Structure 1
């Protein structure tokens, strides 16, 4: 379950340009750069006095043209992404996501151990303690993560047109409590359901409701279980019926980004390598990496340090053997800016473009990372 950052320092994207001042005068953009969302900005024109130091005369206004040479691959990616955005909008013609009816939260039997926040509706602060486990703790983490993976795998089989996300929540809830575990999202900061279901343009934290899944939807199902005092956290984006090629590609690349990030993890590795590797792969396909939601330490506590940034960043810190945390990148077909509904949870892309997410809980080892939530 991703954690939302209200304010962070944004890394500068590799291909982002902005209007600047040159010799005290504002540059004016040519008509070829009509969209600020494009990864390439065309020639930039600057008008300024051509007076040189030590000279008393001025040669009037000079015209300087700035341009950026781009490779054929970069141009092909840009063209394909624009085509995919047009295709996704024109061919789907689906209405924007609307809130359905949210039913009452489901009960958890009294004999099942509950996390400290259960029943309080208080959003816990991020714990500053890194979650590094001994042998017994690792065994318990494996058990919790194995259950989460099994529940997620089963939830994916429920995805089909006409099924409601509320029905998915009921099945997930029952499967978790039948295993003697607690559904971690339930009651966390007042979250009313046992699983997050994020459809189409919903980036994350979608609340299950009465909306029926439609043919062509994509849905991220985010499962976290609390078993024997430990949380296991995982998510995956599933296809509902006949999904467009553009959305299939987005989902495929998002999953690849997750595994690219995991591949750099090991004892002593810098956390920032994760974001670098994810961003490099996403940019090859012209996708945006959402920077407002991060991975996190997980174990006895649901959310703790370190925060795992999925975009390029210069954050300090390195991984330690025995440590567990999540990696959970969100990629979008369009803007990475987001809006949040009044429920304070459901977060959508600002432009309504599709978003996809994948998540694993991993254990840092001496030579790499063990995926604990692998099905």
Structure 2
């Protein structure tokens, strides 16, 4: 997509810079108000997470273009949708007739710095493309405090622009209110880092790099683990003595580790069925406390017909090498379609390296028990 935005009043934009991320940036506060010990997992993000991040970056680039009047170049399939969302967000800003509008503004306090998407006299805006999160209000409080401190203001109007849902949240915050939020967030963060105090188990644990050693998560999980054990039929339940489950015991005590892992594997199946039920309820319009359905971007890919079209230019060997091997069953099926009268050459198959698979041991019934259930 190459499109010239409709003309708007030019706004100030800083020169390009690497925009380093400060460890205490308000962008982190979104998670810290839920758990001050949260550490984002960075080394194992899946493709869906990377796709969401890429989409968010593209949305912000279009948002800047819609405000500054610069041309925007984007060839993504959803470029038109993102542009319409950016135009809506820019229109919401124009609605308040802001003075001295600026984009991507670096805001500093002695303890931290961060970047606001847009600011003007008495206002600060932040663009969000995905789900609604109360933690975003803490993030804007951090930005607002820096603005009020620098401009000697007593209050500021804050705006959250959820572009995908075209939802605009607006509220006013005083200097004292913003300072209290910042003080509480940063103090809780310091206690969590230095003393591991104030940790809270919740919906962000699965994205935390410290989940495997978090005492709050282990404490919160213990009742659920015990409940999962009780949900398993007695004949399939191993005779593992109950004991206190902690993050230390499940990696040092074989009895605790066995009970925890057995119940956790069972709970995965139970959670999967519960999630399917909740999803179906929401799809049918019935509310489920604590959950809602929101749109998400699927991973991008190159269609098979496009791959075929580019094979002559790239080279078949390079394409196949990049794709990797094929499952034997799939290759056999393809071979049979092309050579129906020939026997499959089994010598071309390759056996992967073996591995040890961890399996549950089901309790064996005695002969007497078998006779009673026959």
Q: Bigger relative contact order, structure 1 or 2, given CA contacts below 8 A and separation 6+?
A: 1
Greater percentage in helix: 2
TM-score tier after normalising by the smaller chain length = under 0.3
The structure with the largest strand share of the pair is 1
TM-score (norm 2): 0.20
